[in-house]
Amino acid sequence: MKVRKAVITAAGWGTRFLPITRSQPKEMLPLVDKPLIQYCVEEAVSSGIEQIILITALGKRAIEDYFDRSFELEYVLEQKGETKLLQEMRELSNLVDICYIRQKEQLGLGHAILTAKGIITEEPFAVLLPDDIIDSEVPVLKQMIEVYEQYETNVVAVEPISSEQTIKYGIIEPKRISGHIYQVLSLAEKPEPAEAPSNLGVVGRYILMPQIFDALEVTPPGKNQEIQLTDALQLLLKQQPIYACEFEGVRYDAGTPLGWLKATVAFALKHPDIGQELREYLRQLL
Measure the N-to-C terminal CA separation of the chain; round to a whole number of Å. 53
- Nearest alpha carbon to residue 123 among 5, 43, 244: 5
- Whether residue 15 has pLDDT greater than 80: yes
Environment class of 191 (CB within 10 Å of its CB; exposed 0-12, middle 13-18, buried 19+): middle
pLDDT in tens, 234-258: 999 999 999 999 999 999 999 999 9
Collapse the DSSP code of 82 into the 3-class scheme (helix H, G, I; strand E, B; otherwise coil) and give the result. Answer: coil
Query: 72: which residues sit within 8 A by CB, 6+ positions away?
Result: none
Cα(174)–Cα(201) distance, rounded to whole angstroms?
A: 11
pLDDT in tens, 144-174: 999 999 999 999 999 999 989 999 888 999 9
The one-character DSSP state at 15 is G
Query: 41: which residues sit within 8 A by CB, 6+ positions away?
Result: 8, 52, 67, 95, 96, 98
Taking only Cα atoms into account, the Rg of the chain, rounded to an integer number of angstroms, comes to: 19
How much is the mean pLDDT over the chain? 93
- Nearest alpha carbon to residue 201 among 177, 165, 228: 165
**For the chain, what percent of residues have pLDDT higher than 90?**
72
Strand positions, DSSP E, 23-96:
30-31, 34-35, 51-56
- Nearest alpha carbon to residue 233 among 224, 242, 225: 242
- Nearest alpha carbon to residue 261 among 13, 23, 31: 31
pLDDT in tens, 200-232: 999 999 999 999 999 999 998 876 778 989 999
Is residue 285 left, alpha or beta, with left meaning phi > 0 and alpha meaning psi from -120 to 50?
alpha
How many whole angstroms from its chain centre is CA 33?
19
* CATH number of the domain to which 259 belongs: 3.90.550.10
Cα(273)–Cα(213) distance, rounded to whole angstroms?
A: 45
- Do β-strands 125-128 and 5-9 pair in parallel, antiparallel, or remain unpaired? parallel
pLDDT in tens, 66-94: 999 888 888 898 888 888 888 888 888 88
Residue type, 261: L
Dihedral Cα 181, 186, 187, 188, nearest 10 deg: -140
Query: 258: which residues sit within 8 A by CB, 6+ positions away?
Result: none
Domain that holds residue 220: 5-285
Tally of CB atoms within 10 A around 163: 11
- Whether residue 29 has pLDDT greater than 90: yes
Could you tell me the pLDDT band of residue 105, with boundaries at 50, 70 and 90?
Answer: confident
Query: Domain count of the chain?
Result: 1
